Structure 1
Amino acid sequence: MSVDQPSNSHLEVDSPNSTHITALENELVELRRQVSRQTLLNQIVQAMRGTLVLENILQTTVDQLHETLNVSRCLIFRPDDESQMRAHHVSEATAQRESVLGVYCDFYRYHHQELSQGQPVVFSQITPNLPEVLIKAAQDCEIRAILIVPLLHQNSYIGGISLHQCDDSREWNTEDIEFVQAIADHCAIAIHQAQLYAKLQSELRERQQVEEALRQSETRFRTALKHAPLVVFNQDHQLRYTWVYNSVSDGEVDTILGKTDSELLAPQEAQRLMSIKQRVLSSGVGMRDQVSLTIQGKQRYYDLTVEPLRSSIGDIEGITCAAMDISERKHIEDQLKISLQQKEVLFQEIHHRVKNNLQLVSSLLDLQSQQIDDPEILALFQANQNRIKSMALIHEELYQVDHLERINFLNYIENLTYHLIQTYTIHPESIIVKLNVDQQIKFDLSTAIHCGLILNELISNALKHALRNNGHQGHIWIEIHSHKTENHTIKLIVGNTKQTKTDWIHFNSPKTLGLQLVHALVAQLNGRLEIKEAPHTVFEINF
């Protein structure tokens, strides 16, 4: 009888169950891994929402990716000032981390086009058939496998996340790539938000600085105008007041705003004021004028400046005005004008009295001369009488003019020569006087008297010694003009067509009192005298 051996069929009964358990375990591991990655993604997103400190966000991201994906190092590259991708963040667990920070990656330069278009760069291993520049870059960083996922925001390429495997090659599966891409998308959003936040902060600081500068400027403006007699205000196109500063009293500001001048002033005053402002609105050109207004029952005067008020794009949106109260100054000016008029009347009266007194002296000399039989003594009396007459004529001119500084010297010369010709010549009609006088030249009283006496002596000399009783026609010419090229000196010329007697011209002659007087007067004018004797007698004085 044979004994049946034990059957081993029961060993095969459990095999299907064992395979099923292994599959479940693998699914559980994969599920845990997915949960872990989703948890990491949620943590990163939550961290991004919780802070705008970009450096902390990106550093947390590379540290979590390093741990979760179990890589040798995780890096985030961003462009520098020259748009070259440089390592800005490196995971803390990276060996020799400090030497990796700041390095440039040739993989980014070589694959710039693909990365900028949103395509990841994947190398499971570094093989000899790769470009030499990439092989060298991998050797320098001890890279055996690399995954680069670009950072893009609104199609703008702003960096990338790099995963390095340094101990062995590595297959980057689709889940790895998609996971890193999801994190990269959130990192790109975080970078954009941080940049936007930084820009807003910068603009906010600039705005705060501008507002502070405006506040300080307004404070200085208000301080400067606080006690100044100046009213500053703006008006719109309808000439309604929109802003007023430093009005007569603070309580009146509310009653002014929104109103026009026609609602605040007397009709005639408002019409003139609005006419000035309307011209500025129409022309766009500022104006300055003096206006009088009735304020609180009192007549006030203002120096008004009106300028167009323009918007930021240059359009005229109203006017801005500054009105300086000049009432006190106007009052002082009016008093000064009255005082000046009174003084001019007084001075004219003085000149009138001086002229009368000089004429009185001249008349006394004339009466006295009627008792003199000696011709030489009579000639002396007559010469002094003419000198007094020349001074009297100056005062007569000053009495007749409107302004004391404006002596009509041409009119004076005409009167003087007429008087002398009537005095010294038997045939006055035989004497022709030619005048060439620059009427722009103005003489003060002292200079006018000096020049008048000089002319009296020289014209008298010509009439007494050259043109008297010759029975022929004679010429006298007088010129007065300025030399701009010679420091604005004035030239006075007196000439006649006959040659003067030599004994009168030379100083050694006892008959040269007139010429000595001329020299003395020229010296007082700080001038210079030149005498030309032939063919005519010409006296030229420069002063």
Structure 2
Amino acid sequence: MNSMTEDVWTPDDLAYQGIRGSDIFTAEALERLPPKGKAARRRANARLEQRVRARTAELVHINAALQAELQAHKQVEHERTQLLVREQALRREQEAAVAVLRTSEQRFRRLFEANVLGIVFSDFNGQKIQANDAFLDLIGYTREDLQAGRVPWNLLTPPEYRHRDVHAEVELKANGVCTPFEKEYLCKDGRRVPVLIWVARLEDTPEQCVGFALDLSERRRLEAQLRASLQEKEMLLNEVHHRVKNNLQVVASLLDMQADTIEDLSMRTLFEDSQQRIQSIALIHETLYQPGDVVAQVNAAEYLTRLSQQLVEAYRSPGNRHTLRVQVEPVWLAIPTAVPCGLLITELITNSFKHAFLDSLVGEIHVTLRQDPPGTCVLTVGDTGVGLPDGLDTRATGSLGWQLVRLLTE
């Protein structure tokens, strides 16, 4: 008999009816119950239904709790799996970073021990930690001196360069690196060694830095040798310009002397024109000859002004008032350009004095040089004289001056 049956009938009641407790819930047993048991059966059924509902609700609650616990367990397992995956990924990244760091350290160690350039580690207090052999050789100290603390780090830099060290330290603390700069080291034997310095702060130990020192002695020696060679070539080139100018002056003087012996005016004029052409070339070499300096280009304003004035003084007759106006933009002419330019001005100014003014004692000759467009120059020589004859074909004329002008401008 179960507990539910005992709530409706006692064991004696069931025995009196001839019903076993195990049959109380069978259909046949219920039919054999007498009428007086129907009310009790309804009450028993009601209590049974109430207990079933309560038990069902309890089971539903337990099931919901189990489902929630199961879901929480699954979430924990999922998160645990994700953590394991992330941990494995992090471990792989860490192993890769360690491998990269190890490779980098090996490479830097090879650079440190290769002694291609001086390398030294220090902190911002000036305490030197480690230096390679190249750096020690640079300053003239041994590794025993370094280990025994006999290297006077604060005295290695001469006083006139210490402000550069201070500037580099400020830049290093602000940016992590400093701009490479040049200075000198005082060696153990008293020598001064020029060096190029570059310093960077270490990422893993920000209070420490690594410095690189490149010996500039060989470069300074080559620079001095190059300067000496250049100075020698400057002297030779100046001497060449000086000798060429003197030789041209001698030729011009010979032509002048020869012209004085010629009575034919037309022949004398030819000698004088040749003399002026030679003088224009000599003036270029005189301009290029500057003691202590080598000029590869000619200052157009200075050269054209001097040449024009020289021509005016040579051809101006006593009593005339011919004036010269020169307007030249600040242009530098290469020698292959300056020579034909000077010859052109010589021919054109000479032509103005010979043919433009005739018997007039008043007139102006103007010379202009301007850049138009940049990279090219426009040279203009004109006068206020009578102008060129009508119908003159400069290409067909037999004049030597016009032939030179045509050749120099083509």
1:443/1:497 Cα in 2 relative to 1: closer, same or farther (>3 Å)?
same
- Higher RCO (CA-CA < 8 Å; seq separation 6+): 2
Taking the TM superposition and a 5 Å limit, the aligned residue runs for 1:78-93 are: none
Give 1:166's aligned residue.
Answer: none
- In structure 2, give the amino acid aligned to 1:509: T
2: distance between equivalents of 1:412 and 1:434?
14
RMSD of aligned residue pairs (Cα, Å): 3.8
Q: CA deviation at 1:380?
A: 0.6
1: distance between equivalents of 2:325 and 2:163?
54
1:289 maps onto 2:181 in alignment: yes
1:159 maps onto 2:74 in alignment: yes
Find 2:196's aligned residue among 303, 316, 323.
303
Q: CA deviation at 1:495?
A: 2.1
Give 1:255's aligned residue.
Answer: 146
Deviations 1:122-170 (A, max 9, x none): 54999xxxxxxxxxxxxxxxxxx99425269xxxx5626xxxxxxxxxx
Give 1:478's aligned residue.
Answer: 368
Query: 8 Å contact 1:244–1:257 — kept in the other structure?
Result: no
1: distance between equivalents of 2:109 and 2:206?
25
Taking the TM superposition and a 5 Å limit, the aligned residue runs for 1:27-42 are: none
Q: CA deviation at 1:518?
A: 1.8
Give 1:536's aligned residue.
Answer: none
1: distance between equivalents of 2:102 and 2:219?
33
1: distance between equivalents of 2:319 and 2:236?
38
2: distance between equivalents of 1:455 and 1:522?
12
1:360 maps onto 2:247 in alignment: no
Deviations 1:378-407 (A, max 9, x none): 111001100110010000001126232242
Taking the TM superposition and a 5 Å limit, the aligned residue runs for 1:139-538 are: 147-150=66-69, 157=72, 159=74, 188=76, 196=83, 198-223=85-110, 227=114, 229-242=116-129, 244=131, 247-249=134-136, 252=143, 255=146, 262-263=153-154, 265=156, 267-268=158-159, 271-281=162-172, 284=175, 286-295=178-187, 297=189, 298-306=191-199, 309=201, 317=207, 320-400=210-290, 402-426=293-317, 430-439=321-330, 441-467=331-357, 469-484=359-374, 488-502=375-389, 506-510=394-398, 512-523=399-410
Higher strand fraction: Structure 1 or Structure 2? 1
Deviations 1:13-35 (A, max 9, x none): xxxxxxxxxxxxxxxxxxxxxxx
- In structure 2, give the amino acid aligned to 1:443: L
2: distance between equivalents of 1:395 and 1:465?
30
Match of 1:483, SS?
A: coil
Query: Could you tell me the percent identity over the aligned residues?
Result: 30
Give 2:25's aligned residue.
Answer: none
Query: 8 Å contact 1:281–1:316 — kept in the other structure?
Result: no
Q: CA deviation at 1:357?
A: 0.5
TM superposition score normalised by structure 2: 0.71
TM superposition score normalised by structure 1: 0.55
Q: CA deviation at 1:289?
A: 2.2
1: distance between equivalents of 2:303 and 2:148?
64
Query: 8 Å contact 2:157–2:184 — kept in the other structure?
Result: no
Query: 8 Å contact 2:118–2:136 — kept in the other structure?
Result: no
Give 2:9's aligned residue.
Answer: none
2: distance between equivalents of 1:504 and 1:218?
87
Give 1:19's aligned residue.
Answer: none
1:374/1:279 Cα in 2 relative to 1: closer, same or farther (>3 Å)?
farther
- In structure 1, give the amino acid aligned to 2:313: Q
Moved more, 351-360 or 206-215: 206-215
Q: CA deviation at 1:471?
A: 1.3
Deviations 1:399-458 (A, max 9, x none): 12623224222211121111110111215873333333232x332222221211122112
Taking the TM superposition and a 5 Å limit, the aligned residue runs for 1:45-64 are: none
Unaligned runs of 5+ in 1: 1-120, 127-144, 161-187, 524-543
Match of 1:324, SS?
A: strand
1: distance between equivalents of 2:319 and 2:106?
82
Give 2:10's aligned residue.
Answer: none
Unaligned runs of 5+ in 2: 1-57
1:276/1:360 Cα in 2 relative to 1: closer, same or farther (>3 Å)?
same
Query: 8 Å contact 1:369–1:378 — kept in the other structure?
Result: yes
Match of 1:508, SS?
A: coil
Query: 8 Å contact 2:118–2:134 — kept in the other structure?
Result: yes
Match of 2:298, SS?
A: coil
- In structure 2, give the amino acid aligned to 1:408: N
Q: CA deviation at 1:348?
A: 0.5
Taking the TM superposition and a 5 Å limit, the aligned residue runs for 1:127-142 are: none
Moved more, 344-353 or 201-210: 201-210
Give 1:81's aligned residue.
Answer: none
